[in-house]
């Protein structure tokens, strides 16, 4: 008995020991569907991966984690800005996820749509901060210094958009004293930079207009200096030295217009100095590209979906991109009417306001961007990707932005496109407007006429009137659907007229304003309000439903 | 583990031998349920003047001098059925429990306990109750059966319907709240739909710390121990065949929406007319004309006119009524526009078939259980079904006196076809969005001018997609989800999967000292499935892709190894000590692989090779590991005073290396009061007081939350790492402290049994999603901040009201009440103060210190704007009929609006202020049932109920919404017929006005009482008398009918409050719960 017990014990102990040792201590795991910071830091390609994260992030699907069909990055920002104006009409439809922005409804701080704009920009800014932080100028190679410059330029570009969208400017719909009794005039957004700590983020006030301008210009000038020493980025998905000039031109126009409208007490710079600087940078940036030709403009395969000489800056969405994979939650689905699968074609069709359209002479080839009524002389001149689809479209439907490779049906081809962030033409418009703003109207007219006759409409001549209004109009024709016109409405304090006999705006979008519309001052979302003490009572007033609708 | 020990005194007395000596009998007495020896059992030779013996510490007895004339031994032990056995020189005698309830086995962590000796809180649902339901998922059998257990069934879809379970409230705000499932001793993360409920012997729900502290690592939300069947020792071979056939149908009623096209047109006309009359101030006749002109066309119209109206007449008269001469089925060109009932077309009856064969056999050396099951469950939505073939083999063998081995293997093959976009309330891909929301005027089919449904060139029925210029169109644009017809899609597309699940457990038990044994249990679980998602090339949004096929393969693989050393010693003084030491390691890997292609040759070939255009391809694996060391000490004195202490130290791969280990423990005690000398109530069979406290952990958040993560994406050919989430490296376990106190009792000779318990459950170091300013680019990170508690009372009772030879009538009842309260939130989350409560707003809820997690935070409805009830100082007729809400009023000098001094009404929704609107959690919930036996006929019925609680009825709000240009063609609830109008000025329902945006915006108006009563199942059976069946060579023959999900009574027809815990997503766009009515036959031989 004793022997047996001893033997049994031995077996048991051996068994126990074996199983203890075979399982050992808990195994480390590491992910392969994502990468951790630890994995990245041990990877030589990490900095490059952070560089490319900047353009890649601009076409990220589902940043809000709500599977919202309008959540696909920078393209949706552009569409949101476009639907706020007066020339860009979206057919009222139950599929239209942009109606809150179009109709000035439910734009308060609690809504998802409000979170979307804020978070899309700040998440994109995070990509630039991560890159900037990852490059140590003390030890960086010239190539890595280029990364750093690209990061700073990218960040400046994003902040410039963001500051212009959230800056509160006076209007006829809301007061600059908000519901908390705070004056929010000229306040932009909080600046989070690469070394901002969590504690600072939690007490980060909205920069004033001038502070924001200075942050942006500082980044851009640093980027320009680095490029000067190390050479410029070549890939158009990353900002080159021309783009840096272009962004400086935009920034100075913005600042100049602000000083001109509200007085020069806001900066030591004068408005004229800003316009002059803007004109100079714009001129310099013009060297970075060539103006689009009619053939390029109306090309059914590459029209406004492929990088060409006119584009200075863009981002490209590959067919592997998640937004492309969804087929319907992406830029092309929403802005190109010529697909058989996308949202735009299924109901919320993008159209041009007939009143705006009728102002464009038929000699201007840009008028071919929209489906002409059948009785128009342009009807036969329009090019289209697919006859059947074309025939199904209503009058005034946009044809400008084509599905990728002109493929109307295969989403993986149609939606894998490039999206323009800056075209060289804008620099011509900035230059001419800068002169007009400085009071040099004739110079402006000359530049406009020269641009128009040379590139757009041989028969063009300036018919008189306000030259800035004319430039504003031509610029809107030029940049229809590219997300840029919004900034001019707001900067130039232009109202919208959407309610009139024969309007194609839906009943809820029919609002007329005498100033920049109140809805162009974006409201800061709840996630920031709740967690940033310095912003809590400094939100922009909620513009929702602040205008009566006309009933046409 | 639980050897029988009656009392030391009895043992000594019976040990006295007798004088007559002729024959020696030795043997052992064993508890049939536990396989453990019974100590102190009396073994007496029958009719031999009291010759006998008592069993010793090992259950053995020896009786010298047994007269040769003696034939039988009488074996008895308190609480067990006395047994007579024929005398043989050596005997092994099995005793069964006399008092089933007291001796009820509870499967607990690493062992079993009897209900009597158990210090914790647990409830067992046995095979009998499981058999009363006809659920494909065994967890469903717990519905309304266990006090404190809440089941949430969002979808009724076959094969998809694993309920969410909450035990004793909500433990965590941001981490998981799901209990840990233990299948035959090992953590189970597989799909419960692959298990055959017929194989399940019992499910123990462990609710308190003393019960589940040994699962410390993951036991914070309770543990459900699922134990599969096995044969009992010395059971003769038995074969049981069970077959049933049933009909599936929709169990939940429809919302009371408009079904008559005329009624809908009238209502829509009214909305347009009111728009012109009330909002634009036009005359009655102008408004009539405006409504007529806009009814079916333009940006305000419905797009479809399906009525023929005689020339010169109008569809709707000036009285607002449909023209009596109007006839349905307008012929327009080549087509006839005729409406269809989408709801009727979306639900059908399905056939359910289930067959089970089980074989059991036991001997004193081992036992075997084998089963084979087949289930074919046809869904109630077209092209949905679930099929399962399963088999199980479980065998145990005592190879040597010191060595026992066992293997339990389960294999299942399963397949299903599913409905897409289940529960997606606005998706054009969800059939039920159409079924529940489309106006009753739209055709489902395309009909020729004669009214016959047309077939396309492929011979397929043509459905209306409502998008001109595309296939499946009659030239009319349907404003409601155009270019889609999910019913057609469900016929043409495929969304299915099939797979294999294998689960195997092997254990070895070695006894190597008298009181010491070693048990190793190793298990492997494997579950893989392959799905096919095919989109047709004929119709809809993706038709031009010429067919899209996507293939997905998933594989879940997990292993669990545990080793336990068990020492158990009883001292002759009555002290009883058991000590366990163990180790456990769990690993899980989830593998995923998918690819898709488009441009297919033929819909008959649904493989990637059958299509030519590459889509995408993806693969990844996700790992999760835990490891733990455990120790437990159990003590009792004379089976009267019980104590337990346990400790477990655990590591989880979800935390950073240095913060990975957590320590969890518990203490418990119980006192069997009825065993005390002073206790003199012989009608009390058992009265036990129990108390326990302990802590458990929760790591139920995603992997790698402790660090920053990046997505790896394509930047036009370059590898890019885009930021995803950020984390805090010092994050560690969430801890759940659990206090439990209560009484278990058995009264009147086991006629009434019950438990009354109080629990207090406090979560500390909560894995809380800490919000960041979103300007950081991140939304939140996890950190251990915040405290919450759940406290409540649970009562369960069951008993036999009548217990006679021919009659048994028994009934059971359980109910629980609990409250949830957040005790502490991090300072930066307390961004709002509402009604004195500090906290934050998330969605429609306010998360605040001192209130329930599920407190609604909504705008408050202030009625309809009318002459008797208006906002502002003067009545404005152009606002008549609009909704009003409350807004706060502040003193002029209170510019920051900190302290409201009153409130006033407003018609502007964006001005309305939200307020706390009460809790979603019910006041009382539970279930009751009764069963009745008369001779060979048995009947049972089970109910579930909830009293109180609130649901935000978003379906109803949608159906009560006014049409706008962006939302035309949505059906109305019939309640709009009672909407405000100048003639119906007392109505509390806002006027039906086209374009009035916010009339039904979410507010407390749509908070609906979540009380319900459900009839969960009814069973009626007839077991043929043995005298008949024996003649046919059968052991048993039973015929039965069974009905599941019989009825639901809720506050609003169509609303199923059982779909939600937080009161947020109860929607008829989820696949309805299924009612099954079956007939079956059970044969044993």
Which pLDDT score is estimated for B33?
A: 61
Q: What tokens does A134 get?
A: 């990852």
Q: Whose structure tokens read 């407190």?
A: B855
Q: Which of B470, B721, B773 sits opposite A40 (nearest CB)?
A: B721
Query: Residue A22: its chain B contacts at CB < 8 A?
Result: 561
Which pLDDT score is estimated for B27?
A: 87
Q: Which of A12, A127, A340 sits opposite B510 (nearest CB)?
A: A12
pLDDT in tens, A137-161: 999 999 999 999 999 999 999 999 9
Which pLDDT score is estimated for A435?
A: 98
Which pLDDT score is estimated for A80?
A: 98
Query: Residue A51: its chain B contacts at CB < 8 A?
Result: 720
Residue B106 has pLDDT above 80, yes or no: no
With a CB cutoff of 8 Å and minimum separation 6, the contacts of A433 are: A253, A444, A468, A471, A472, A475
Contact yes or no for A329/A61 (Cβ under 8 A): yes
- Chain A contact for B1028, CB < 8 A? no
pLDDT in tens, B456-484: 998 999 999 998 888 889 999 999 998 89
Residue of A nearest to B772 (CA): A531
pLDDT in tens, A314-340: 999 998 999 999 999 999 999 999 999
Stretch among A8-12, B213-217, B572-576, B770-774 having the lowest mean pLDDT: A8-12
Question: Cβ–Cβ of A15/B620 closer than 8 Å?
Answer: no
With a CB cutoff of 8 Å and minimum separation 6, the contacts of A446 are: none
d(CA A481, CA A351): 10
Is ipTM strictly over 0.90?
yes
Question: Cβ–Cβ of B777/A526 closer than 8 Å?
Answer: no
Contact yes or no for A114/A108 (Cβ under 8 A): yes
Question: Cβ–Cβ of B773/A190 closer than 8 Å?
Answer: yes
Distance from CA of B300 to the nearest CA of A (A): 8
Which pLDDT score is estimated for B13?
A: 35
Question: Cβ–Cβ of A37/B708 closer than 8 Å?
Answer: yes
d(CA B712, CA B710): 6
Question: Cβ–Cβ of B510/A15 closer than 8 Å?
Answer: yes
**DSSP secondary structure, A313-365, as one string:** EEEE--TTSHHHHTSSSSHHHHH-TT-SSSHHHHS--EEE-HHHHHTS-TTSG
Q: Other C-beta atoms within 10 Å of A138: how many?
A: 5
Residue A67 has pLDDT above 60, yes or no: yes
pLDDT in tens, B834-876: 888 999 888 899 999 999 999 999 999 999 999 989 988 899 9
Distance from CA of A390 to the nearest CA of B (A): 10
pLDDT band at B2 (very low <50, low <70, confident <90, very high): very low
Query: Residue B481: its chain A contacts at CB < 8 A?
Result: 94-95
Contact yes or no for B975/B960 (Cβ under 8 A): yes
Residue B885 has pLDDT above 60, yes or no: yes
pLDDT in tens, A441-476: 999 999 999 999 999 999 999 999 999 999 999 999
Structural element, H or E, at residue A178: none
Question: Cβ–Cβ of A8/B510 closer than 8 Å?
Answer: yes
Question: Cβ–Cβ of B720/A52 closer than 8 Å?
Answer: yes
Distance from CA of B1058 to the nearest CA of A (A): 24
Distance from CA of B711 to the nearest CA of A (A): 5
Which pLDDT score is estimated for B787?
A: 94
Question: Cβ–Cβ of B719/A52 closer than 8 Å?
Answer: yes
What average pLDDT does this structure show over B722-748? 93
| pTM recorded for the entire structure | 0.86
pLDDT band at B19 (very low <50, low <70, confident <90, very high): very low
Distance from CA of A270 to the nearest CA of B (A): 31
Which pLDDT score is estimated for B967?
A: 87
Which pLDDT score is estimated for B20?
A: 42
Above pLDDT 90, what percent of chain B? 64
Distance from CA of B844 to the nearest CA of A (A): 10
**DSSP secondary structure, B918-975, as one string:** EESS-SEEEEEEEEEEETTEEEEEEEEEEES-EEE-HHHHHHTPPPBTTB-SB--BGG
B416 strand-pairing partners:
B386, B497
Residue B550 has pLDDT above 60, yes or no: yes
Question: Cβ–Cβ of A527/B520 closer than 8 Å?
Answer: no
C-alpha separations of B175 from B192, B609, B768 in Å: 22, 42, 7
Q: What is the CA angle B195-B197-B201, rounded to 5?
A: 110
d(CA A353, CA B489): 36
Question: Cβ–Cβ of A129/B964 closer than 8 Å?
Answer: no
Above pLDDT 70, what percent of chain A? 95
Residue B750 has pLDDT above 90, yes or no: no
d(CA A8, CA A24): 24
Q: Which of B707, B713, B775 sits opposite A190 (nearest CB)?
A: B775
C-alpha separations of B940 from B249, B791, B808, B1048 in Å: 21, 33, 11, 18
Name the residue among A518, A525, A506, A515 with its Cα closest to residue A544: A518
Which pLDDT score is estimated for B17?
A: 38
With a CB cutoff of 8 Å and minimum separation 6, the contacts of A122 are: A162, A192, B774, B775, B776, B777
Query: Residue B613: its chain A contacts at CB < 8 A?
Result: 410, 412
When mean pLDDT is compared over A29-43, B19-33, B521-535, the highest value belongs to: B521-535
Q: What tokens does A324 get?
A: 């492309």
Question: Cβ–Cβ of A92/B965 closer than 8 Å?
Answer: yes
Residue of A nearest to B521 (CA): A19
Distance from CA of B53 to the nearest CA of A (A): 25
Q: Which of B522, B773, B897 sits opposite A532 (nearest CB)?
A: B773
Which pLDDT score is estimated for B97?
A: 64
Question: Cβ–Cβ of A36/B512 closer than 8 Å?
Answer: no
What average pLDDT does this structure show over B567-580? 90
- Chain A contact for B776, CB < 8 A? yes
Structural element, H or E, at residue B576: strand B575-600
- Chain A contact for B661, CB < 8 A? no
Distance from CA of B804 to the nearest CA of A (A): 52
Question: Cβ–Cβ of A181/B895 closer than 8 Å?
Answer: yes
Question: Cβ–Cβ of B716/A34 closer than 8 Å?
Answer: no
- CB contacts under 8 A, B 828-847 vs A, are 828-829, 831-832, 840-841
Residue of B nearest to A46 (CA): B721
Residue B81 has pLDDT above 80, yes or no: no
Question: Cβ–Cβ of B774/A34 closer than 8 Å?
Answer: no
DSSP class of A373 = P
Residue B4 has pLDDT above 50, yes or no: no
d(CA B983, CA B674): 72
pLDDT band at B917 (very low <50, low <70, confident <90, very high): very high
Q: What tokens does A8 get?
A: 């049994």
Query: Residue B773: its chain A contacts at CB < 8 A?
Result: 190, 201-202, 204, 527-528, 531-532, 535
Hey, of B966, B968, B970, B1065, which one would you mutate to test binding to chain A, going by the most A CBs within 10 A of its CB?
B966
Query: Residue B565: its chain A contacts at CB < 8 A?
Result: 16
Stronger pLDDT, A51 or B716, i.e. the higher one = A51
Question: Cβ–Cβ of B720/A198 closer than 8 Å?
Answer: no
Which pLDDT score is estimated for A4?
A: 57
Which pLDDT score is estimated for B1051?
A: 95
Which pLDDT score is estimated for B5?
A: 39
- Chain A contact for B964, CB < 8 A? yes
Distance from CA of A400 to the nearest CA of B (A): 21
Query: Residue B623: its chain A contacts at CB < 8 A?
Result: 27, 29-30
Beta carbon pairs, A and B, within 8 Å: 301
Stronger pLDDT, B581 or B468, i.e. the higher one = B581
Which pLDDT score is estimated for B513?
A: 79
What average pLDDT does this structure show over B924-946? 94
Residue of A nearest to B897 (CA): A180
- Chain A contact for B720, CB < 8 A? yes
pLDDT in tens, A264-296: 899 999 999 999 999 999 999 999 999 999 999
Residue A9 has pLDDT above 80, yes or no: no
Question: Cβ–Cβ of B482/A118 closer than 8 Å?
Answer: no
Q: Other C-beta atoms within 10 Å of A395: how many?
A: 17
Residue A21 has pLDDT above 80, yes or no: no
Which pLDDT score is estimated for A198?
A: 93
pLDDT band at B694 (very low <50, low <70, confident <90, very high): very high
What average pLDDT does this structure show over A363-370? 96
- CB contacts under 8 A, B 893-912 vs A, are 895-897, 908, 910
Question: Cβ–Cβ of B300/A507 closer than 8 Å?
Answer: yes
């Amino acid at each position: 008995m004793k022997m047996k017990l001893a033997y049994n014990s031995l077996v048991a102990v051996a068994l126990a020991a074996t199983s203890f040792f075979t399982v050992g201590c808990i195994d480390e795991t590491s992910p392969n569907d994502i990468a951790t910071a630890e994995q990245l830091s041990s990877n030589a390609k990490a900095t490059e991966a952070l560089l490319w994260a900047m353009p890649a992030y601009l076409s990220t699907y589902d940043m809000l984690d709500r599977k919202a069909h309008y959540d696909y990055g920078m393209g949706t920002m552009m569409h949101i800005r476009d639907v706020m104006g007066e020339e860009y009409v979206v057919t009222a439809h139950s599929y239209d996820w942009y109606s809150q922005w179009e109709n000035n409804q439910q734009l308060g701080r609690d809504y998802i749509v409000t979170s979307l704009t804020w978070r899309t920009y700040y998440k994109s800014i995070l990509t630039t901060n991560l890159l900037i932080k990852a490059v140590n100028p003390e030890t960086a190679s010239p190539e890595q210094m280029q990364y750093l410059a690209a990061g700073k330029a990218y960040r400046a570009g994003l902040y410039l958009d963001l500051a212009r969208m959230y800056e509160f400017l006076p209007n006829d719909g809301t007061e600059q004293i908000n519901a908390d009794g705070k004056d929010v005039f000229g306040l932009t957004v909080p600046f989070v930079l690469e070394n901002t700590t969590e504690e600072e983020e939690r007490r980060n006030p909205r920069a004033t207009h001038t502070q924001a301008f200075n942050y942006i210009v500082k980044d851009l000038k640093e980027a320009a200096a680095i490029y000067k020493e190390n050479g410029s980025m070549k890939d158009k998905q990353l900002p080159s030295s021309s783009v840096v000039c272009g962004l400086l031109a935009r920034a100075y126009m913005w600042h100049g217009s602000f000083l001109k409208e509200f007085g020069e007490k806001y900066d030591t710079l004068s408005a004229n100095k800003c316009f002059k600087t803007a004109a100079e940078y714009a001129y310099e940036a013009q060297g970075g590209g060539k103006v689009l030709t009619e053939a390029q403009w109306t090309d059914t395969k590459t029209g406004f979906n492929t990088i060409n000489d006119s584009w200075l800056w863009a981002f490209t969405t590959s067919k592997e991109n998640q937004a492309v994979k969804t087929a319907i939650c992406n830029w092309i689905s929403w802005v190109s009417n010529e697909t058989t699968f996308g949202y735009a074609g299924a109901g919320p069709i993008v159209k041009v306001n007939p009143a705006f359209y009728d102002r464009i002479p038929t000699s201007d080839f840009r008028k071919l961007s929209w489906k002409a009524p059948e009785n128009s002389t342009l009807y036969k001149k329009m090019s289209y990707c697919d006859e059947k689809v074309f025939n199904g479209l209503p009058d005034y439907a946009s044809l400008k932005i084509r599905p990728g490779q002109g493929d109307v049906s295969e989403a993986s081809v149609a939606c894998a496109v490039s999206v323009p962030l800056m075209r060289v033409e804008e620099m011509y418009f900035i230059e001419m407007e800068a002169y007009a703003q400085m009071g040099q109207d004739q110079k402006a007219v000359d530049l406009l006429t020269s641009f128009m006759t040379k590139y757009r409409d041989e028969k063009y001549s300036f018919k008189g009137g306000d030259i800035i209004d004319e430039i504003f109009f031509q610029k809107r024709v030029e940049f229809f659907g590219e997300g840029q016109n919004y900034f001019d409405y707001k900067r130039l304090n232009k109202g919208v007229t959407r309610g009139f006999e024969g309007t194609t705006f839906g009943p809820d979008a029919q609002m007329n304003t005498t100033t920049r519309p109140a809805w162009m001052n974006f409201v800061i979302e709840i996630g920031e309000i709740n967690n940033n003490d310095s912003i809590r009572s400094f939100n922009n007033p909620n513009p929702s439903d602040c205008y009566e609708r006309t009933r046409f | 583990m639980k050897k029988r020990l009656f009392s030391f005194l009895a043992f000594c007395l019976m040990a006295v031998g007798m004088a007559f000596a002729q024959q020696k009998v030795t043997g052992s007495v064993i508890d049939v349920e536990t396989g453990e020896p019974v100590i102190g059992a009396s073994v007496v030779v029958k009719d031999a003047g009291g010759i006998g013996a008592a069993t010793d510490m090992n259950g053995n007895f020896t009786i010298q001098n047994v007269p040769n004339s003696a034939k039988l031994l009488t074996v008895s032990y308190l609480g067990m059925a006395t047994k007579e056995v024929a005398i043989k020189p050596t005997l092994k005698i099995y005793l069964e429990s006399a008092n089933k309830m007291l001796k009820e086995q509870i499967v607990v962590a690493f062992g079993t306990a009897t209900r009597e000796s158990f210090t914790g809180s647990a409830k067992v649902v046995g095979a009998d109750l499981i058999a009363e339901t006809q659920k494909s998922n065994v967890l469903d059998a717990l519905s309304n059966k266990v006090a404190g257990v809440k089941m949430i069934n969002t979808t009724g879809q076959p094969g998809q319907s694993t309920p969410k379970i909450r035990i004793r409230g909500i433990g965590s705000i941001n981490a998981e709240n799901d209990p840990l499932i233990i299948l035959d001793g090992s953590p189970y993360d597989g799909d419960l739909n692959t298990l055959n409920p017929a194989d399940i012997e019992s499910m123990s729900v462990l609710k308190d710390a003393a019960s589940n502290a040994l699962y410390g690592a993951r036991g914070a939300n309770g543990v459900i121990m699922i134990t599969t069947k096995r044969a009992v020792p010395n059971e003769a071979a038995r074969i049981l065949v069970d077959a049933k056939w049933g009909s599936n149908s929709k169990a939940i009623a429809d919302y009371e929406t408009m079904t008559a096209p005329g009624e809908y047109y009238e209502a829509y006309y009214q909305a347009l007319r009111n728009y012109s009359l009330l909002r634009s101030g036009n005359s009655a006749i102008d408004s009539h004309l405006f409504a007529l002109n806009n009814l079916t066309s333009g940006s305000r119209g419905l797009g479809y006119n399906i009525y023929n109206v005689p020339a010169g007449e109008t569809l709707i008269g000036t009285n607002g009524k449909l023209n009596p001469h109007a006839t349905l089925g307008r012929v327009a060109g080549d087509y006839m526009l005729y409406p269809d009932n989408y709801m009727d077309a979306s639900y059908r009856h399905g056939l359910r078939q289930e067959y089970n064969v089980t074989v059991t056999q036991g001997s004193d050396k081992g036992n075997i259980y084998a089963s084979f099951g087949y289930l074919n469950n046809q869904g109630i939505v077209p092209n949905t079904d679930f099929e399962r073939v399963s088999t199980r083999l479980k065998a145990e063998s005592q190879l040597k006196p010191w060595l026992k081995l066992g293997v339990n293997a389960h294999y299942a093959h399963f397949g299903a076809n599913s409905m897409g976009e289940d529960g997606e309330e606005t998706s054009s891909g969800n059939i039920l969005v159409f079924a529940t929301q489309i106006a009753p005027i739209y055709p489902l089919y395309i009909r020729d001018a004669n009214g016959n449904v047309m077939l396309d060139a492929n011979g397929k029925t043509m459905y209306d997609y409502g998008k001109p210029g595309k296939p499946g169109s009659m030239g009319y644009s349907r404003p409601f989800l155009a270019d889609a017809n999910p019913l057609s899609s469900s016929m043409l597309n495929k969304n299915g999967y099939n797979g294999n699940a294998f689960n195997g457990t092997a254990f070895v038990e070695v006894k190597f000292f008298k009181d010491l044994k070693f048990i190793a249990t190793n298990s492997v679980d494997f579950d893989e499935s392959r799905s096919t998602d095919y989109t047709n090339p004929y119709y809809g949004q993706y038709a031009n892709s010429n067919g899209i096929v996507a293939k997905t393969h998933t594989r879940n693989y997990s292993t669990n190894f545990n080793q336990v050393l068990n020492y158990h010693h009883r001292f002759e003084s009555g002290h009883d000590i058991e000590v366990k030491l163990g180790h456990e390691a769990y690993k899980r890997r989830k593998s995923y692989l998918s690819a898709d292609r488009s441009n297919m040759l033929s819909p008959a070939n649904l493989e990637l090779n059958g299509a030519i255009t590459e889509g995408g391809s993806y693969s990844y694996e996700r790992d999760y590991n835990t490891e733990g060391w455990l120790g437990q000490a159990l003590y009792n004195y004379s089976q009267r005073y019980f104590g337990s202490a346990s400790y477990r130290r655990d590591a989880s791969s979800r935390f950073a290396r240095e913060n990975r280990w957590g320590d969890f423990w518990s203490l418990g005690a119980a006192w069997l009061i009825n065993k005390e000398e002073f206790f003199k109530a012989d009608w009390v069979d058992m009265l036990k007081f129990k108390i326990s406290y302990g802590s458990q952990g929760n790591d139920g958040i995603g992997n790698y939350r402790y660090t920053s993560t990046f997505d790896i994406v394509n930047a036009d050919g370059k590898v890019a790492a885009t930021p995803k989430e950020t984390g805090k490296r010092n994050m560690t376990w969430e801890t759940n402290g659990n206090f439990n106190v209560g009484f278990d009792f058995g009264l009147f000779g086991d006629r009434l049994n019950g438990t009354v318990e109080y629990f207090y459950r406090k979560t500390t170091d909560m894995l809380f999603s800490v919000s960041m300013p979103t300007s950081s680019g991140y939304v939140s990170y996890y950190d251990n901040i915040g405290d919450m508690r759940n406290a409540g009372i649970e009562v369960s009772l069951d008993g036999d009201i009548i217990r006679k030879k021919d009659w048994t009538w028994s009934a059971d009842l359980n109910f629980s009440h609990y409250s949830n309260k957040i005790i502490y939130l991090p300072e930066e989350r307390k961004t709002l103060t509402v009604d004195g409560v500090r906290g934050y707003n998330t969605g429609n809820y306010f998360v605040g210190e001192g209130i329930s997690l599920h407190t609604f935070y909504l705008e408050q409805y202030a009625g309809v704007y009318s002459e008797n009830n208006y906002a502002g100082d003067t009545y404005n007729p152009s606002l008549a009929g609009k909704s009003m809400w409350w807004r706060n009023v502040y003193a002029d000098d209170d510019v920051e609006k900190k302290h409201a001094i009153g409130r006033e009404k407003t018609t502007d929704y964006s001005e309305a202020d939200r307020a706390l609107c009460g809790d979603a959690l019910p006041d009382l919930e539970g279930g009751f049932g009764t069963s009745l036996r008369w001779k060979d006929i048995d009947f049972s019925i089970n109910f579930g109920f909830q009293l109180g609680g609130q649901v935000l009825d978003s379906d109803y709000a949608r159906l009560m919404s006014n049409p706008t240009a962006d939302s035309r063609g949505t059906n109305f609830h019939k309640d709009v017929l009672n909407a405000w109008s100048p003639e119906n000025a007392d109505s509390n329902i806002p006027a039906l006005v086209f374009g009035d945006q916010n009339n039904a915006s979410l507010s407390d108006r749509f908070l609906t009482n979540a009380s319900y009563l459900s009839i969960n199942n009814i069973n009626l059976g007839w077991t043929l008398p043995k005298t008949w069946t024996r003649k046919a060579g059968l052991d048993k023959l039973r015929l039965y009918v069974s009905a599941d999900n019989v009825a639901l009574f809720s506050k609003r027809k169509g609303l199923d409050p059982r779909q939600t815990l937080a009161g947020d997503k109860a929607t008829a766009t989820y696949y309805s719960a299924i009612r099954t009515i079956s007939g079956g036959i059970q044969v044993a031989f």
